[in-house]
Amino acid sequence: MSSPSTQFATSRRMGIYEPVHQISMWAEPFKADCSPNTGTSTIIEVDTKMDKSEDTSQGTIGSSKKYDQEANKPPDKVLRRLAQNREAARKSRLRKKAYVQQLESSRLKLTQLEQELERLRQQGVYIGGSFDTSHLGLSGTVNTGTDAFEMEYGHWVEEQSRQVNELRTALQAHVTDIDLRLLVDSGMNHYYDLFRMKATAAKADVFYLISGMWRTSAERFFLWIGGFRPSELLKVLTPQLDPLTEQQVVDVYNLQQSSQQAEDALSQGLLKLQQTLSETLASDTVVAGSYMSQMTTAMGKLEALVSFVNQADHLRQQTLLQMSRILTTRQAARGLLALGDYFQRLRALSSLWAARPCEPA
């Protein structure tokens, strides 16, 4: 029994887990050929001999049994798992690389911010509260406002998916209008919940909200003041609501027009805000009065940004409300389903895009 024991000892020392290697090791003392069948039978023979022996290294027997099970699998499955392991390792290395890169750029940003802070302190500007660094999350103070929002939004998306599936089932099952109405109302309220959440988050960190970092990449492509453009969503929805009555067609068109006009007005107001903020910061301190008053004026401008985000969400809410008045219950249900599916597809697209195979840097 010495030679199999030596095999055990060798495998433990080497500590490798490649079953292919194990097969050849096991097969050697019995001079088996390379075909899987003979390999298997010889291995089993070895195993039974081991069981009967007084060998106390139970652990190694157990682990070698595992290797045997690996060796018993047809080679193509083994090869596939090896390929998967390689792929997983490669992905892990890429993730690590990305993480390290992010850390390094964060470190650089931190140094820059510390220098800026020191400069401002020397100029006598009061630096108080959480020093916001948005999505880099560098500041010592944890920005609990945005963290809480991100978590809440995650739950919101899950609930959204659940509701969308419920709507789909209900529409296919042809439930009564009363039951459908309940689902429609929940759907509407769910969107209103989101706007409430966003209002709170806007007070905590408006830049985070308008950056859209809390949304997936494809959704961000359509970003307008912290969310979707209501008029664009109407264009997405309307074809899927057929058949509409003539009056409904007119009403939806008017709603789209009004929303577009309101959106344009808000966009122009925001441009004006950018201009005035830029002018405030660009003007010479002598003209502005003092560095302090310049900063105070600028801070006031930023407060206005919060009201723009709130107005944009108000527009979204009003659009939903008006649509629910124009449409029948069944149409509203189909509309909510179409909307939910649209967002889900955008999210799925974002994931696919993120996972697409890239040329290594």
Partner 1 sequence: MEKVMRLAAEKGVVIFSKSSCCMCYAVKILFHELGVNPIVHEIDQDPEGKEMERALCRLGCNAPVPAVFIGGKLVGSTNEVMSLHLGGSLIPLLRPYQTLV
Residues lying near partner 1 in the complex (CB under 8 A) are found at 251, 254-255, 258-259, 261-262, 264-266, 268-270, 272-273, 276, 300-301, 304, 307-308, 311, 314-315, 318-319, 322
How many other CB atoms are there within 10 angstroms of residue 220's CB atom? 14
Cβ proximity to partner 1: between 22 and 319 the closer is: 319
CA atoms of 85 and 89, how far apart (whole Å): 6
Minimum gap (Å) between residue 316 Cβ and partner 1: 10
125 or 273: whose CB is closer to partner 1? 273
* Least distance CB 292 / partner 1 (angstroms): 18
Q: How far is the CB of 347 from partner 1 (least distance, A)?
A: 27
Residue 243 corresponds to which tokens in the numbers above?
């058949």
Whichever of 262 and 327 has its CB closer to partner 1, that residue is 262
Half-sphere CA count of 46, side-chain side, radius 13 A: 28
Report, in Å, the least distance between residue 232 CB and partner 1. Answer: 15
Among residues 198 and 215, whose Cβ is nearest to partner 1? 198
Query: Token match 């801070």: residue?
Result: 299
Cβ nearer to partner 1, comparing 49 with 272:
272
CB-based burial, 289-309: b 16+ in 10 Å, e otherwise: eeeeebbebeeebeeebbebb
Q: Measuring CA to CA, how many Å separate 84 from each of 17, 79, 80, 81? A: 15, 9, 6, 5
Q: Least separation, in Å, of the C-beta of 94 and partner 1?
A: 44
Q: Are 324 and 192 in contact (CB under 8 A)?
A: no
Neighbours of 335 (CB within 10 A): 24
